[in-house]
Amino acid sequence: MKTETAVEDKEIPPAPAPTPEPATGRLVSGPLAALRGLLDRPLASYYLLLASIGLLLIFGLVMVFSATSVENFRQSGSAYTSVIKQSGWAVVGLLGFWVCQRLPMRTYRAVSRVVLAVCLLLMVVLDVLGFLSALTAQPGSSPAPLRLGPLYAQELWLYIGPFQVQPSELAKLGLVLWSADVLTRKGTKIANWRELITPLFPVALLLFGLVGYSDFGTMTCLFVLFLGVLWAAGVRKRIFAALLGAAAVGMTLLIINADYRAKRLTVFLDPAHADRNADAYQFFQGLYAIANGGWFGVGLGQGTSKWGLLPNGHNDSIFAVIGEELGVVGCVVLLALFAVFAYTGLRIARRVEHPFRRLVATGLTCWLVGQAMINIGGVIGIMPMTGVPLPFISVGGTALVVALVAAGILTSFARAEPDAARALHARPPRRWVQLVWAPLPPLPHRGTPPGADAPGDTGGRAKNAGARATSAGARAKSAGGRATSASGRAKSAGRDR
C-alpha cells in the first residue's frame, strides 16, 4: 500500500544565497529615478525650454565678444562694437519672445498666410534686385548694389531705408506656420497625394526656389523643417521618397549654377587634393583651430585663429573658435544644450493636444536643430559647408530675432500641454504675473485624462465628438430596449389576467 510522505519529511533544497546588488546599479538607478521624477512634472518641458534657450543665448553673446573683439578693436578702437550690436538684437528678440509666448494659437493660424505672403514678396524683391545688379555689373568686377528709391540688396540682405532684413530667415518661420495650418485644415485628406498638390507643394517649391537662388544653405534648412512638418502630419512614405528625389535634382541644378557651391562640394568630397590656400582655406583653418584647442582649449579669448586667419569666424565658423578656446569640453557642452532643446521640442510636439501645435513644434525643432547640425557638420568636415549661421550663437540680427521668436512660440505651446495647463489652473500665478509674463493657457478637452496621450494629429475633435455621439446613440438604444421590454412584460401580465 502506497503511503504519502508528509510535507515535513520531504527534503527542501536550500534557498540560493541572495546576489548582492552591484554598487554601480544603485548609483545609476538613483540618479535616473530622480531624473525621471523631474521629467514627469507637469511644467518640465516649460522649464527645460527656458533653461536651454537662456544658456544658449548667454553662450552665444560670450562667444560673439570673443570672436569679434580683435577685429573690432583694429577697425574702430573698441572691442565691444559687435557684442553691443548683438546684445541690442537680443533685446529685440527677447521682446518678440515675450510677445509670442503670450499669444493664443488662433493668432498664429490667423497670421500664417500674411507672414508667408510677406516673405514671398521680400524674397522676390531681393532676388530681382540681385539679378539686376549682376546684369549691370562690369565683367570681372563684383556687382554694385542697384538702388530703387530706398530699396537695395547686398548679398543676402535687403535694405529698406535705414532698416536691413534677411528675408530668408523670415521665410523659415512663415513656412512652418503656413504649412502647419494647411495640413491641419485638410485633416485626414492628406492621405490622398492630390490634396498635397493644392496648394502646399507648389507654394513650398516656389519658396525653395526663391531662397535657393541666393542662399543654398537656408534653402536646405527650409527643406529639413518642411520634411519635419510632413512627418509629424503622418504623410505617407512614398511622398517622402518623391520629395527626396526632387530635392536631389533641384540641389544639383543649383550647385551647377554657382561655381562656389561646386567648389565647396569638391572640397568636401576630396579634401586631400583641395588647394588649402584657396578653395579649402576656410575649411582647413577651422580644423586647425579645433585641433589647436585640444580637450580643454587654450582659454576664453586666447585663440589665435580670430586674428585674421579664420574667415567668418564670427558667423559660419564660430564653432571652430569655440573648439579652439574651450576645447572638446566646450563643444560637448554646446552640443548638450542643443540636445536638450531638441528633446524638449519633440516632447512638446508629442504632448500637446491640438494638431496645429504639434506640427509647428516639430517644424520649429527640426529647423533650429537641423540648422545647428548643418553648421557644425560643415565646420568639422562631415558635411559640405553651406554658410548658415549657428542658431543663438553666430552674429546676425535677423537670425537671432527670428530664432527667439520661434522659441517664444514653443514656450507658449509648452504651457498648453494638458498636464501643464491643469497644473497652472490648479495653482494659478498671481494676477500681476499673468499680466506681466503670460496669461493662463486654455484647459484641455474633458476627454483627455491627466497623463494620457492626446488625440490624433488629424480629426481629434471629430473623433471625440463621434465617440460621444456613438455613446449617446448606444444609451438611446439601450433605453429603447428597456422600454420595449417593459411593454412586453405589461402585455404578458394582461394575458395572464
pLDDT at 160: 84
| Residue 152 backbone phi and psi in degrees, to 5 | -160, 155
pLDDT at 386: 85
pLDDT at 1: 42
- Indicate the Cα dihedral angle 161, 165, 168, 173, nearest 10°: -120
CB neighbours of 39 closer than 8 A, spacing ≥ 6?
none
Helix (H) or strand (E) holding 153: strand 151-154
pLDDT at 255: 87
Which of 201, 263, 209 lies closest to 227, judged by CA? 201
CB-CB contact of 59 with 334 (8 Å)? yes
pLDDT at 493: 41
Beta bridge partners of 106: none
Span 321-331, pLDDT tens digits: 999 999 999 99
- Report the alpha-carbon distance of residue 77 to residue 59 in Å, rounded: 24
Which regions in the chain score pLDDT beneath 50? 1-12, 14-15, 18, 21, 23-25, 27, 448-472, 474, 476, 479, 483-497
pLDDT at 7: 39
- Report the alpha-carbon distance of residue 354 to residue 15 in Å, rounded: 56
- Which residue intervals of 234-311 are DSSP H helices? 237-257, 259-269, 281-293
Span 420-448, pLDDT tens digits: 999 999 998 888 888 889 888 888 876 54
Positions of E strands within 6-128: none
Span 344-389, pLDDT tens digits: 999 999 999 899 999 999 999 999 999 999 999 999 999 988 889 9
The DSSP letter of residue 147 is P
Which of 365, 38, 344, 42 lies closest to 227, judged by CA? 365
Span 68-108, pLDDT tens digits: 999 999 988 899 999 999 999 999 999 999 999 999 999 99
Q: Are strands 163-165 and 157-160 parallel, antiparallel or unpaired?
A: antiparallel
Which residue carries 580644423 as its cell?
A: 287
| Percent above pLDDT 90 for the chain | 49
pLDDT at 361: 97
Q: Looking at the chain, how many residues does it have?
A: 497
pLDDT at 330: 95
pLDDT at 470: 46
Predicted TM-score (pTM) of the model is: 0.82
Query: What amino acid is encoded at 381 in this protein?
Result: G
CB-CB contact of 446 with 339 (8 Å)? no
pLDDT at 5: 42
